[in-house]
Each structure stands twice: as structure tokens, then as C-alpha cells.
Amino acid sequence: MAGDLHLDSAAHEDAIVWEPSPADLERSRLLRFIREHGLSDYEALLARAVEDPAWYWDAVVRHLELEWYTPYDQVLDLSRGLPWPRWFVNGRYNYVHDAVDKRATGPDRDRIAVVWEGDGGAVRRLTFGELAAETNRLAHALRALGIGKGDRVGIFLPMMPETAIATLACSKIGAVFIPIFSGYGAEAAATRLTDCDARLLITADAFYRRGSVVPLKATADAAADRSPTVERLLVYRHVGADVPWNPERDVWWHEAVADQPDHYDTERTAGDDPYMIIYTSGTTGRPKGAVHTHAGFPIKAAHDLAFCFDLQPDDTLFWITDLGWMMGPWAIEGTLMLGATLLLYEGTPDYPEPDRLWQVVERHGATVLGVSPTAVRALMSRGDEWATRHPMPTLRAFGSTGEPWNPGPWRWLFTVPGQSRRPILNYSGGTEISGGIVGCVTIKPQKPCAFTGPVPGMAADVVDADGRSVRGEVGELVIRGPWVGMTNGFWRDPDRYLATYWSRWPDVWVHGDWAEVDADGFWYILGRSDDTIKVAGKRVGPAEVESAAVAHPAVQEAAAIGVPDPVKGEAVVIFAILRPGYTPGDDLREEIRDVVTQRLGRPLRPADIRFVSDLPRTRNAKIMRRVIRAKYTGQENLGDLSALENPAAVEEIGRVG
């Protein structure tokens, strides 16, 4: 059962390391919301939101000052059952109105909406007025290409202003966009385009990554050739590279928008009309297309940014992401709906020098920086001086999502770039969630690696193998009630949606993560439950083993898997990336095994340590442990690899001894 999962005591640190200052409390819109509704404290808010979700989300809509074309006459309808809630029934709502239209005139018109910095250092800025005009011109161009309400449009672009414009223009005309990771190969892109019958693919000629040109148009052509429903490619001239051209299919963006009007009447969509299908990769089978609506995902994004990250109009959000990861649309829509500034960066955190990330923060006055633990581990290995040379006076908080923290990198981010005064706002949820299940807030204290608890409005719980709530032990992360932003199922596959999330216990969403709540009420995410290792009846999460391994000074990063063992059932194998200056060898291997044994106990002593130069991971930095396990054990079918960023790392797994 889940409760026997081993916990490394070093992974949970009892000390409070950050407390909100009077200034944090004074500026907090979450605290204002609590006071507006006469609630005694944060815990009272969480309880009221779970007890009466219709009250809560109606109050959120009003607090965020969202504007409806036609008011809804019922907040929540559960007549079809908990997996299929209807929110804001009969309301007419298009999030583009709140993100762009209402800011195109008046005091917001000349404020900066979007800032972009390219890989090579080029910078562009768009005001809300300019963003609205460009969105409207593209909306007209899409209509001229025959795209209308309900049509599906793939967006295959790196993070640049046109990426935001494309998402907004699709939504403005009522089309449904499909965000496609800019690093995908043709087959992965084609699978998604074909599954949803996309008629148009928006792409660019190329983009820069670490100083090299990535020929995006060539990949888009190959994807379109494999996708029978794709009729046209709309191509943005970004780099100026020579590209293959099919005049029967291809259209230049700049030609399509030339002479188009800068006004367009936004489609008055129903709140539950689809606006986005975003695909997530499974361990087997085709990718799952999560369907999201105008009054779902965007409102959840704006809500979480407002209440977890305290994002306000004077803020600049900078999140390292790609459009194909849910944090891309989440950042675009949520930031603009709150009237804040969105900082888009097309490069990598350490190019051309290891301080590039801190330079970008400082240069553009970012106030909230979203960065993954993987990126932090890589930056940490380059030395403190790259971060300490940049005081980043505007930065007030970090955001983090995508994977569990190890204590060492968390403390480094907090103490070195964070100067022991900037909170790390942990945030964990999923593509089908539209944001966070658990998170941190700026009005509550922090422990290393921990979450404050459930995001407001999320009826999250931790349960044992029988579905009973547990505290002080590890269990499955579940959700017991509906929330705004819950996916409207998988595209054309409702049975798979029900089987994935709702089949274990009646009316309980099982998310697939191990979690724990400590004695002080802090929450921890310990990794995917399907990554759990079971040695001689004792379960251990890979994050626990990895934290033990990186406690050795030679180890920069590690991935732990369970492999078949004839005696123990499974044995632990660790793949480790070494810090500069350390050389692989049997003596070092034994030292690392000893450190893990000291921290976790002899039954969990690793059977092997393998040294590698990289680990298979997705573009959004999640380590693909299932792929490591499959390659190590010699399986021919490695599962869905469409999200894999670095195929060479998989081949290395098969070679190292």
C-alpha cells in the first residue's frame, strides 16, 4: 500500500526559512480577497472554497473583474456527474476580451504587454494597443484563409511575440488552437495535427537556439505532408532563412496581414466553447488531447497567477517555457488577463554565458521568474559568481514547477540568486488541470522543497490504498471536487479520460503523484506514482534516492529507477551526471552507493551506479525515467518519445556500463 513508501528524513526539513514581510502582506491580492469576504484567515478560505465551489469561483470571477458578453445564469451544473461539470452555464465569454480588447483603449493602451528577447540578444516590445492591433490583423488574415469558429489550427512556433498573437487571434475568431512544442520532429507534430483534423499550421522559417539556426519550416512541411487535413501553412519570417516553398499551400504571415484592418469584433463564444486542445504524452498509446474552454483554462491561469504568485499590473512575469508545455499558454493568457507584462525569452538559461538567465531578469525588470529544478541544478554547477554578480533588484519571487526538488538545489536558489529573501513558489498540477493542484502563496511561510498546500479552489487530498485520507505518510494525490479549468475530457476519447483519472474510486480524480502532508501541514510532491521503486517490499520514490545521490559532492544530477531483481523484486539503479572535475570510476561509484545507503538504509543500497553525460528529458526538463528503465532493461518498445528533447541521452543509457 502507499503508506509503506520510504521517506528520507533529509528530504523534509523542519525549519521555516522564509516568512512574508509586512510589505508582502500589504500588497497581497489574495489577502484582500480573504478580507473582502469576511473570512478569518487563509485556512478558512480553503475550507469555504471546497465546501462551496460555486460560491468561490463566482467570487473569483468578480474579483478578477472578468467581463462577460452575456452573464451566466448558473455557476456550476453537475447534472452529468463530477467528471463532466458545466461552469458558468449559458454565459457568453471570450478570454481575449479581458486579455487584449478592454486594454486596447484607455490607460492601459500604452503600457507594455509583451517583451521579447531572442537567443542572440535582439529585443522587441509591444504595448497593449500594439498587441491588440496585431492580433486583430491576424484575425482578419485567418478569416481570409477560410478559418472560422471551431476550426483547429496548429501553432508550431518558438516563444516570441507572434506566438502570443497567434494564440489570441485564433481565440478571437473562435478557432481552436493546438500548441505544438517547437522542438518536435515531423512525426510528433503530424500525430497531433492529424488527431484533431487541423486545417492550418502556423509556423516560422526558422529560429535560433544556442547560436545555431533550427530549420522549423522544413519540419513543418514534413508534418503537413503527413497530415491529410492540413490545407495551408502560414509562415512568419523570423530569421530570414531560405525555406522550401509551396505556393499552393504556403502563405507568408507578413503578406497575409498586410492592409488588414486593426479592428476585429471578437467572437462572442460560449464560456464552454473549446478554445485549445493541448496534447500530453502517455507512457503508451497515442498522445492525449486535453480539451479546454474559454471560461476554463484561462480563468484558472489568471486565478493561480493572482493568488499563488500575487501577479498584479505592475509585475513582469518571466517563465522559461515553450508553447507546447501548458505553462506557455498559461503564462500568455493568465498574465495578459491580469494586465501584467509578459516577458518571452527564445534562448536557453546559460547561453552564451552561464549568467544569461540573470541578465535577462535584470535587463527587463522581471518580478517573478519561473525556472525548473533541472535548470537550477545546471546553473548551480557553474558556480555562485555568475548569479551573485546580478543583484536583480526588481525580482521578488521565483516560481517552480515540473518536477520535485532536491534540498541542495532548492537551498542554492534561495540563498544565492534569492539572497535568502525571495520565496520559491512551488507549483504542481498538470495539463488537464489548467494549472496547479498544490502550490505556495506569498502570505504563508516556507520550508525547503515544500508546498503551502492545495491551491485555493482545489479539493486536494492525500489517500492510502483504500482511498482514505492520510497525514504524516505518503499516499496518492487526489482531487475530490470540481474546479474551473478541469479538462472537458480528451479529444474524441471520453472513455480514455474516465479510465485515466476517474476509474479507481468513485468521483475521485487520481492524479498519479505520490504526496505527503507533514505534521505542520506542509505538502510535498514526491514524484510520479508509476515511477515508484519497490525493494523487498519497501517502496521508495525516485526523488528520495536522487536527493541522497546528489548529497555526494561529485553528483550534479541523478535519476533513479527500479529494475527487476530475482531476490528483492526490484533493485535500485542510479544514473548520475558528475560535476566538472570528477572522473568516473569504481571508487567513486562505491562512495556514492555508500552515501545513499547511509541516508536511506542498507535495504535500499543501489545495485549499480552508471555515469552519463546527460539524462533523457523533455524540453520542459522532466526526466523520462520510464525511458531510462526501458532502455536499461533492453525493451524494444520505449513508448511515446515525442516529448524527448535529447535522443542521444537514450542511446548513451544503452552503452554505459
- Residue 316 contacts residue 115 (beta carbons within 8 Å): yes
Does the pLDDT of residue 9 top 50, yes or no? no
Beta bridge partners of 208: 213
In a shared domain, residues 439 and 348: yes
- Determine the Cα–Cα distance for residues 323 and 331; give it in Å rounded to an integer: 9
pLDDT tens-digit series, residues 543-593? 778 888 999 999 999 999 989 888 777 899 999 999 999 999 999 999 999
Whether residue 265 lies inside any domain: the answer is no
- Average pLDDT of the segment spanning 367-377: 92
Domain termination residue (choose one: 213, 230, 257)? 257
- 137 and 91 share a domain? no
Instruction: Return the pLDDT at 452.
Output: 97
Residue 112: pLDDT over 60: yes
CA distance 485 to 586: 51
Contact 455, 306 (CB under 8 A): no
**Quick one: 78 and 196 in the same domain?**
no
CA end-to-end span of the chain, whole Å? Answer: 34
- Is 365 inside any structural domain? yes
For residue 384, pLDDT over 50 is answered with yes
Among residues 502, 527, 552, the one where a domain terminates is: 527
Q: Flag whether 267 is in a domain.
A: no
Same domain, residue pair 506 and 581: no
On whether both 522 and 634 belong to a single domain, the answer is no
- The 8-class DSSP code of residue 568 comes to T
Which tens digits make up the pLDDT trace of 172-208?
999 999 999 898 888 889 989 999 999 999 999 999 9
What percent of the chain is predicted at pLDDT more than 90?
79
pLDDT score recorded for residue 7? 42
- Identify the sign of the CA torsion 545, 546, 550, 554: positive
The DSSP annotation for 598-641 comes to HHH-GGG--SEEEE-S---BBTT--B-HHHHHHHHTT-S-----
Residues 115, 52 share a domain = no
Q: What is the mean pLDDT of residues 323-336?
A: 96
**Do the Cβ atoms of 614 and 577 come closer than 8 Å?**
yes
Burial classification of residue 326, based on how many CB atoms lie within 10 Å of its CB (0-12 exposed, 13-18 middle, 19 or more buried): buried
Question: If residue 407 lies in a helix (H) or strand (E), which one and from where to where?
Answer: helix 407-415
160: domain range? 104-257
61, 113: one domain: no
Q: Tell me, what's the pLDDT at 539?
A: 67
User: Which has the closest alpha carbon to 289: 298, 280, 301?
Assistant: 280
Residue 220 sits in a domain whose CATH number is: 3.40.50.980
Is residue 206 within 8 A of residue 241, CB to CB? The reply is yes
Classify residue 262: in a domain, yes or no: no
Within a domain: residue 94?
A: yes
Residues 292 and 220 occupy one common structural domain: no
Amino acid residing at 520: D
Given a contact cutoff of 8 angstroms between Cβ atoms, the answer to whether 407 and 381 are in contact is no
- pLDDT tens for each residue of 447-457: 999 999 999 99
Does residue 264 belong to any structural domain of this protein? Answer: no
- Do 292 and 409 belong together in one domain? yes
Q: Give the DSSP H or E segment for 565.
A: strand 555-565
Beta strands in 222-323 (DSSP E): 232-236, 250-252, 274-280, 288-293, 316-319
Give 342's contacts (C-beta < 8 A, 6+ positions apart): 113, 114, 115, 164, 316, 317, 331, 332, 335, 336
Residue 328: which CATH number?
A: 3.40.50.12780
Which of 224, 257, 290 is the C-terminal boundary of a domain? 257
Do 23 and 63 reside in the same domain of the chain? Answer: yes
Domain assignment present for 268: no
Q: Assign 3-class secondary structure to 109-141.
A: CCCEEEEEECCCCCEEEEEHHHHHHHHHHHHHH
Tens-digit pLDDT profile for residues 35-73: 999 999 999 999 999 999 999 999 999 999 999 999 999
For residues 191 and 216, state if they share a domain.
Answer: yes
Whether 266 is in a domain gets the answer no
Residue for grid cell 535568502 = 420
Same domain, 350 and 485: yes
For 247-282, the pLDDT digits (tens) are 999 999 999 999 999 999 999 999 999 999 999 865
pTM of the model: 0.88
Q: How many whole angstroms separate alpha carbon 491 and alpha carbon 192?
A: 11
Q: Identify whether the C-beta of residue 300 lies closer than 8 Å to the C-beta of residue 484.
A: yes
Instruction: Please tell me the total count of domains within the chain.
Output: 3
